[in-house]
Each structure stands twice: as C-alpha cells, then as structure tokens.
Structure 1
C-alpha cells in the first residue's frame, strides 16, 4: 500500500504542477463575471489524488503497525517457546550435573577409603620385618656366599682342567674361564658359564681320549748300576738310579709322551717265616716329551743341548711307595685301575730318577735281608704314542 500511495503522490504531482502553470496565465481577454482560474480543475484533481494517497498511506501505516505488532507477538511467542525449551534443557543438564555430583561424591568416598587402605598398607610395609632393608641385607649376604661358592667351584673346575691336561699330556689347552664372575650383576650366570666350560672339556676328552701303546720296561738295578756300585749302595741302605731317554729309545725309538701307569718292585732275597721286606721307592724327578720333537729328545739326553719347549718336568714330584712282599709289589693292597684316585706315579714321565731306600739298614734283620739281596727288579708299566717313521729314524741316529 505504501507503493500505491507513492504512485498516487507521483500521479498528483503533474496535475498540481500543470494547474499552477495555468494559474499563472493572464485572464484579461473578454468580459468575466468573476475571476477565471485556469488551473483550478487540474489542481483539484491533484488534490484529490493527494487525498487518496494520504488515505492509502494512512491505511498502509496502520496495516504496517498492525503487522509489526503481530510479528513482534510471533517473535515473543517464539522466544518464549525457545526459552521454555532452554529451561527444559537446563533442567536436564541440572539433573545430569546432579548425577555427576553424586558420582563424584561416591568417587571421593572411594578415594578416601583407598587412601586409608594405602596408608594402612604403607604403615604395615614400613614397620614389618621383611622390608627393603632386609632384602638389601639378604642381597649382600647371598652375594658373598655365592661368590665363595663360585670360588670353590672354580677351584674344582681348574683342578679338573689340570687333570685333563695331566692325563692327555696337553698343557696348552684351556677350557675354564676365570673371568665368569661379574660384580655388577653379583655373578649372575657364572655357574652356567662354568658348566659350559666343563661340557666343552668333556667333549674334547671324548674326542681325543684314544688308547695309547701300553708297554712294560723291566730294569735290573744290578745290571743298570754295575755289581760293585749296586753292592755299595745296598750296604748303605740307599740306591739312587735313573731311567733315561736312551734306555727307552733303545727299545722303541720314535716314541714320545711316555707316561707311567704304575711301577712294581721285586726284591729277590731270602726271607724267614712271616718276614716282610722293608723298602721305600721315591720318584725324585720325571720328564715327559709332549710332542715328537727331536730337540726335546736331545734335551732329555743332554740338558745342555736341544730345546725344552716340548718337555715338561716333575709333574706330581716326590711320590713314593712302600713295599712289603717284594714280589711284583706295587705298594698297594690291591692294584685297581677303577680307583677314582691316581695310582702311585701314574701320569708322570717314564724318563725319571728314583731313590730306593731301606729303613734301618744296620739293624740285624734288615742287614740279613740286604746281605741276601741278589738284585732289585723294577718294572715300569707305561703308555706312549708312536711318532712317524721320520721321527723314529732321527731318534735312532742319536743312539
């Protein structure tokens, strides 16, 4: 309607303008009863249009105000509905917050209860006997005991290694690691390391423990020393003799690693009823050639020549036996090869020096036995390894 009123105002303008223009025209021609207004009709038409426009504008304004009120009412209604919805949402949020508050209170109660339990547990742990200080003390004690046990076991393992070297005639091979203990970890896994070393040593033993040549060397001291020297020594009660390298090379040139298994003594003499001989055989030195080395043979024949790099001397030195029967007497009640202990002189070098002594040689009974002693027979039972033919030929040239 505002548009219509504007259109009417626009339509009235031409009439009013034209009427005003006509009113300016002179009206002096002719005879007039009254004044002649030329633009009155147009002005009247324009005014009618203005009135209509004003009426339409007033109506439009009234309608506009009415619509504004209606629109405002609808907006207020919508705002009311929105506020009501927001109130409903807020009520729900309040309900949710109440639930969360209740859950928080429950959690707080649980936390307080748990805190009380933890405090009780902490008080118990801090006051009980088995606390951290006890375990620290136990660690120190067990570490010290474990190290002592490790040290004892290591000594046994090294002894086993020494026995392996002694029996195999190999003094260079090593199996036992002496640095298995680690202080930073209180020796953890040290036992497993030693166990592995023992298994390696056992494997080497099984692969290398081959049967060697088994030989017996019978020696007459009367023949070895000569009649006069033998008689003088017997009279003195002590006989010193040596079984040198040539004595064995004369039988088997080219042998090496000669190791005694056991030794027996025979003393041919006259004995009375229930009478025993009394003599002690002591090994004063021994030598073993570990490899087929001609320099080692020369050294055994003459210590001023050759090279002793492959010669080992005086293993388990100063062993001795006492004989009583005088007939193939080994100095043992029973000669048993299954004994866990080494036999007397077992493993020592067959090339050796000995002392045979007779206790109290001036006593009547001992003197009677020595006067009737015709000889002393020494039997050396030993094992050896045979070298190749070139080594045997070279050794034979030294004889």
Structure 2
C-alpha cells in the first residue's frame, strides 16, 4: 500500500507541475499593447450635462481662485482641503471613457493600465517648468508603493520618470489598474492662483496618453 501511495504521490506531483507550467505559459504570453490618447477638452465639451470649454473655465476659475464645474467624476474644481484649496484639479472618470469597447472582447478580457503620460499644451517662458500631480482617486490599495501618483514637470508626453523604461523591474505609476475601473484620474495644479496662474491661463487642453495591455 505504501508503494502504491508513493507512486500516486509522484503522479500527483507531475500533474501539479504540468498545471503550473500551463498556467505560466498562459500568463507569460505576449499581451497586446495599446495606446489611447484622451483630450480632456473634448471629454468635457461632450458631457451629456454641464458640459464646458476647458480653456475658458480654467481661466475663469483661476481668476476667481475658487469654484467648480462639470458632471459626476468629470470635473474641474479647486480643492477643498487645507493643502489643496489653492490647487486646480481636473478629474476624469476611467469608466466614462469606455475604453474596453475599443477592441473586441475576443482579443482578451483582461485589460489593465501599463503606463500613463501627460501633455499640457500651454505657453511657457524660457527654462520654465510645470508643477502638476496626476493621482488616482479609485481603489488603489492594490497599487505598489510609489505607484499611486506621478509628478509632471515637463508637460510634453511626461511620464513622471527621468527616463521611461518598460523593461524596468519595478512597477510603473498606475500599472495594474483595470481600464474600466470606477475610479477617476485627477490632475492637480498647485499654486494655481499665484506661481502657475499665467501658465494656466494659456492652457488649451490636457492630454492623457493611456497605455494598456490586453490579455
């Protein structure tokens, strides 16, 4: 009986190894890589209710130093907290973009963000930088430490990294968020009524380059 038990244990082990190898091959298969470019100006102008012109509203709110506009998770507003009351915040609902429907479900139902970059069309003086922070307002408990926000300083396809490297062993900001998640991306501009006021008054759009994978 002990011999038979040993043989069966070996067979069970071989089966487990085969299952592990199969799972690894499925997980390790090359994912489809997609980039979705999003214009917040177009999103805000197309809202079903409370639509608005991004450039005009930014100028208006910055002059007032307060206020808000928009609908649901798609809004432009000044922060209400002690640290954010002088920060202008533009938010975008991921689910509202309906990115999942861009490609057939037959290609794969697991669609997750790999990386996000930001472009800010605005007039800048010589050697002038931008200060902005892109954060995620949804369930970010599953994100790795240091991956819940990125700092924007250049404003031209800005990844928040000195050098973007997709082969880096570390997770990138926002990597792993489901493309149809119910949360929102929030771009905050600190010092919106002082240091960055002139720049914001020339801001014509906010462009997000959302790169994601399909498995």
Aligning the two structures, in what range does the TM-score lie when normalised by the shorter sequence? 0.5 to 0.7
The reply on whether 1:360 has 2:191 as its aligned counterpart is yes
Which residue in 2 is equivalent to 1:328?
157
Assess if the C-alpha contact under 8 Å between 1:261 and 1:346 holds in 2: yes
Which piece of structure 1 moves more, 268-277 or 336-345? 336-345
Which residue in 2 is equivalent to 1:383?
213
The reply on whether 1:240 has 2:91 as its aligned counterpart is yes
> Do the aligned partners of residues 327 and 202 (structure 1) sit closer, same or farther apart at CA in structure 2, a change above 3 Å counting?
farther
May I ask how many residue pairs the two structures share in their alignment? 162
Per the normalisation by structure 2, the TM-score is: 0.66
Which piece of structure 1 moves more, 321-330 or 239-248? 239-248
Q: Which sections of structure 2, spanning at least 5 residues, go unmatched? A: 1-15, 46-50, 63-77, 79-87
The reply on whether 1:215 has 2:215 as its aligned counterpart is no
Aligned Cα root-mean-square deviation (Å)? 2.9
Which residue in 2 is equivalent to 1:256?
109
Distance 1:359 1:206 in 2: 46
SS in 2 for 1:211: coil
SS in 1 for 2:110: strand
The reply on whether 1:338 has 2:167 as its aligned counterpart is yes
SS in 2 for 1:204: helix
Distance 2:91 2:28 in 1: 35
Q: Which sections of structure 1, spanning at least 5 residues, go unmatched? A: 1-196, 287-312, 386-399
Q: Within 5 Å, which residues of 2 pair with 1:105-144?
A: none
Which residue in 2 is equivalent to 1:169?
none
Assess if the C-alpha contact under 8 Å between 1:225 and 1:241 holds in 2: no
Which residue in 2 is equivalent to 1:61?
none
Q: CA deviation at 1:280?
A: 0.3
Residues 272-298 of structure 1, C-alpha deviations (whole Å, 9 max, x = no match): 001011110001126xxxxxxxxxxxx
> Do the aligned partners of residues 334 and 211 (structure 1) sit closer, same or farther apart at CA in structure 2, a change above 3 Å counting?
same
Which residue in 2 is equivalent to 1:205?
24
Q: CA deviation at 1:250?
A: 4.4
Which residue in 2 is equivalent to 1:224?
43
Q: Within 5 Å, which residues of 2 pair with 1:154-303?
A: 204-226=23-45, 228=52, 230=54, 231-232=56-57, 235=62, 236=78, 237-244=88-95, 247-254=98-105, 256-285=109-138
Distance 2:179 2:162 in 1: 23
Distance 1:324 1:315 in 2: 26
Distance 1:277 1:266 in 2: 11
> Do the aligned partners of residues 274 and 246 (structure 1) sit closer, same or farther apart at CA in structure 2, a change above 3 Å counting?
closer
Distance 2:119 2:174 in 1: 17
> Do the aligned partners of residues 210 and 282 (structure 1) sit closer, same or farther apart at CA in structure 2, a change above 3 Å counting?
same
In terms of fraction of residues, the more strand-rich structure is 2
Per the normalisation by structure 1, the TM-score is: 0.37
Which residue in 2 is equivalent to 1:87?
none
Q: CA deviation at 1:253?
A: 4.2
The reply on whether 1:374 has 2:204 as its aligned counterpart is yes
- Larger CA Rg, structure 1 vs 2: 1
Residues 146-173 of structure 1, C-alpha deviations (whole Å, 9 max, x = no match): xxxxxxxxxxxxxxxxxxxxxxxxxxxx
